[in-house]
Amino acid sequence: MPVAFADPDTLHPVPLPDGSAHTGTVFLGPALSHPRIEAGAYTYASAHHPPEDWAAHLAPYLYPFSPERLILGKFCQIAHGVQFITASANHRHDGFSTFPFMIFGGGDPVGRPSMPRAGRDTIIGNDVWIGTGAKVLPGARIGNGVIVGAGAVVAGEIPSYAVVAGNPARIVRMRCDAATVARLERLAWWDWPIEAVLAAEAEICGGNIAALERRAP
């Protein structure tokens, strides 16, 4: 078990050999103050050139007044270049034109014919790894333990412990069989105290579900 582990309220949790902090990786909990984004403990994001505003970097179309939310579970890993394109990026597309007349000329856009209806929340489960340059489209629901390949464009519902890749993203394979997925979701190791998580690091990162179940606090 490691001697120490970063507190989830640490902004820059990765120490460099010289004792300084790696500013290109942040725990999103302390990095974000956006009213429409929720990020679970230990969920981190990385960028080659750290932005001043991580919320705008990750979800550029999610405004403080947006009706939808972006919800990220615990222990997620968000690589460089990932973007969450939330529902406020949408234009109305059920008629003849997609032009957003309501944003030009000022005034309240609510109720204008070109104003699209509010979209649903984008929800990312726990322990999800989203690869470099991936894009997550409005209203996507990504289950626990999913791996999203680099450059993938993800929409809709992705079941827990799937590996997806491509544009549009498709399931390449399942990481576990259905029975094991059910057992993992019952265990929900991401909700354990961090001391129990660290004590079970070998089992969490391994492939023996029975051994992991024996570690459950």
> Residue 193 burial by CB count (10 A; 0-12/13-18/19+): exposed, middle or buried?
exposed
Query: CB count, 10 Å around CB of 16?
Result: 10
Residue among 34, 80, 91, 93 flagged as catalytic: 91
- Cα–Cα dist 202/1, whole Å: 10
Q: Is residue 3 in some structural domain? A: no
91 counts as catalytic: yes
- Helix ranges, the chain (H): 28-31, 54-58, 178-187, 194-199, 201-205, 209-215
Q: Which domain holds residue 149?
A: 25-175
| Count of the separate structural domains present in the chain | 2
Q: Is the peptide bond before 8 cis (omega within 30 degrees of 0)?
A: no
Residue range 22-33, pLDDT digits in tens? 999 999 999 999
Residue 1 has pLDDT above 80, yes or no: no
Confidence of residue 190 (pLDDT cuts 50, 70, 90): very high
The reported pLDDT for the residue numbered 108 is 83
Closest CA to 135 of 122, 119, 121: 122
Q: Are residues 195 and 156 in the same domain?
A: no
- Cα–Cα dist 194/66, whole Å: 33
- Cα–Cα dist 168/170, whole Å: 6
Residues 176-205 have a mean pLDDT of 97
Q: Is residue 11 in some structural domain? A: no
Q: Are residues 197 and 144 in the same domain?
A: no
Q: Is residue 131 in some structural domain? A: yes
Q: Is residue 6 in some structural domain? A: no
The reported pLDDT for the residue numbered 4 is 81
Residue range 137-171, pLDDT digits in tens? 999 999 999 999 999 999 999 999 999 999 999 99
Query: CB count, 10 Å around CB of 209?
Result: 17
The reported pLDDT for the residue numbered 3 is 56
Q: Are residues 185 and 128 in the same domain?
A: no
